[in-house]
């Protein structure tokens, strides 16, 4: 099925507004004009972007922003980046983030509820879509989760 990511990302963002306002972060969408279509399963892709935006908000910090970029350059792969200004993830944890039940115990991350399954599900779904998850993170600055189709 062909899925247009432009409205899909808008819907996911709308669904996360209550969580974002609880935490005190703003989610800014940066979408191109027109359609950006990928082949895939709509419900599964919603789950991917819900998990990533939920993490970006949950581990975000009051007064900071979450930026969501959808890129579709000519001849370039479609990419969605979810960029937060949260605590960041120490490099030694990054390779293990998509393991089931893996959680990073940085200060106050244990106080955030979660099972550690979100990113395992994301990884599983993206593999089925032949898409990659690229993680760039800097402690004290924030994290960029990019999905490349």
116, interface contact from ligand ATP, Mg ion, none, CB < 5-8 Å by kind: ligand ATP
Edge-to-edge strand list for the sheet holding 132-138: 26-30, 65-71, 79-84, 142-148, 132-138
- Determine, following the binding rule CB under 6 A, whether residue 40 of this chain makes contact with ligand ATP: no
Among residues 69 and 102, whose Cβ is nearest to ligand ATP? 102
Among residues 55 and 98, whose Cβ is nearest to Mg ion? 55
Give the x-and-dash track for 77-116 against ligand ATP (CB under 6 A).
Answer: -------x-xx-x-------x----xxx----x----xxx
């Amino acid at each position: 099925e062909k899925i247009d990511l432009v409205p899909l990302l808008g819907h996911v963002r709308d669904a996360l507004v209550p969580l974002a306002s609880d935490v005190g972060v703003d989610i800014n969408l940066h979408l191109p004009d027109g359609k950006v279509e990928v082949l895939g399963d709509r419900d599964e892709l919603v789950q991917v972007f819900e998990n990533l935006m939920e993490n970006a908000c949950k581990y975000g910090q009051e007064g900071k922003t979450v930026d969501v970029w959808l890129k579709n350059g000519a001849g370039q792969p479609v990419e969605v980046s979810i960029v937060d200004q949260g605590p960041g993830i120490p490099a030694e944890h990054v390779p293990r983030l998509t393991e089931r039940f893996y959680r990073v115990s940085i200060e106050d991350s244990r106080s955030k509820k979660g099972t550690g399954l979100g990113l395992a599900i994301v990884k599983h779904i993206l593999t089925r879509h032949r898409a990659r998850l690229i993680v760039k993170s800097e402690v004290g600055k924030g994290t960029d989760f990019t999905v490349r189709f």
